[in-house]
A and B are shown apart, each in its own frame.
Chain A
Amino acid sequence: MTRETFTTEMVRWLNARVAPVDVTINADTPLFVRGLMDSIRVLELIAYTEQAIGFTIPDSRMRMDNFHTVARIADVFLREAGDAAA
Chain B
Amino acid sequence: MLLPEEVITALRERGEIWETAPGLIGLRGSARSLMETIAFSLAELANDETSDEWSVPSGISFATLERAQYFASFPQWLTAASHLSDDSSVLEAIAGSDSPGSSARAAMQKPDAALSPAVCYHTYERLAGQSVASPTLMTAEGVCWRHEGDRLAPLERGWAFRMREVVCIGTPVEVEEFRQRWMVRTEAFAESLGLSVETVQATDPFFAPTARGKAVLQRIKALKHELTVRFPDGRSLAIASFNNHERFFGEAFEISLESGEVAASACVAFGIERWLLAVVAANGVGSEDNATEFGWSPTTLDTIGAVLQ
Instruction: Name A's B-contacting residues (CB within 8 A).
Output: 32, 37-43, 46, 59, 62-64, 66-67
A39 touches B213 (CB 8 A): yes
Per the 8 Å Cβ criterion, residues 172-229 of B in contact with A are 210, 212-214, 216-217, 219-222
Contact call B217/A37, Cβ cutoff below 8 A: yes
Nearest CB on A from B212, distance (A)? 6
How far, in whole Å, are A39 and B217 apart by their CA atoms in the complex? 6
Complex CA–CA separation, A42 to B74 (angstroms): 20
CB-CB nearest in chain A for B251: A35
Residue of A nearest to B203 (CB): A59
| Contact call B213/A64, Cβ cutoff below 8 A | no
CB distance from B84 to the nearest CB of A (A): 40
Interface centre among A38, A42, A63, A67 (most CB of B within 10 A): A42
Select which of A38, A40, A63 is within 8 A of B222 by beta carbon: A63
Q: Closest 4 CB pairs between A and B?
A: A39-B213, A43-B213, A62-B219, A39-B214
Name the residue of chain B whose CB is nearest to the CB of A64.
B220
B205–chain A nearest beta-carbon distance, Å:
14
A-B residue pairs in contact (CB < 8 Å), sample of 14: A37-B217, A38-B213, A39-B210, A39-B213, A39-B214, A39-B216, A39-B217, A40-B213, A42-B216, A42-B217, A43-B212, A59-B219, A62-B220, A63-B219
Distance between Cα atoms of A59 and B201 in the complex (Å): 11
**Inter-chain contacts of B212 with A (CB < 8 A):** 43
Minimal Cβ-Cβ distance residue in B for A57: B216
> Which residues of A are found within 8 Å of B213, using beta-carbon distances?
38-43
**Closest chain A CB from B139 CB (angstroms):** 29
Whether the Cβ atoms of B216 and A62 lie closer than 8 Å is: yes
Inter-chain residue pair count (beta carbon < 8 A)? 33
Q: Within 8 Å CB of A64, what residues of B?
A: 220-222
Chain A residues, CB < 8 A from B221: 32, 64
In the complex, what's the smallest C-beta–C-beta distance from B253 to chain A, in angstroms? 17
A32 and B220 within 8 A (CB): yes
B304 CB to closest chain A CB (Å) equals 36
Min Cβ gap A33→B in Å is 10
Q: Contact: A46 with B210, CB < 8 Å?
A: no
Rounded to whole angstroms, the CA-CA distance of A63 and B203 in the bound complex is 13
Provide the residues of chain B in CB contact with A62, threshold 8 Å.
Answer: 216, 219-220
B216 x A63 contact (CB < 8 A) = no
Complex contacts, B217 vs chain A, CB 8 Å: 37-39, 42
Least CB distance, A60 to chain B, in whole angstroms: 9
Most A CB contacts (10 A, CB to CB) among B216, B219, B221 go to: B216
In addition to A46-B216, A64-B221, A64-B222, 9 A-B residue pairs with Cβ atoms within 8 Å of each other are A32-B220, A39-B216, A40-B210, A40-B213, A42-B216, A42-B220, A43-B213, A63-B219, A64-B220
Question: Within the assembled complex, what's the spacing in Å between the Cα atoms of A18 and B222?
Answer: 22
Q: Which partner residue on chain B sits nearest A68 by CB separation?
A: B220
Q: Residue-by-residue, is B15-52 near A (CB-CB < 8 Å gives 1, otherwise 0)?
A: 00000000000000000000000000000000000000
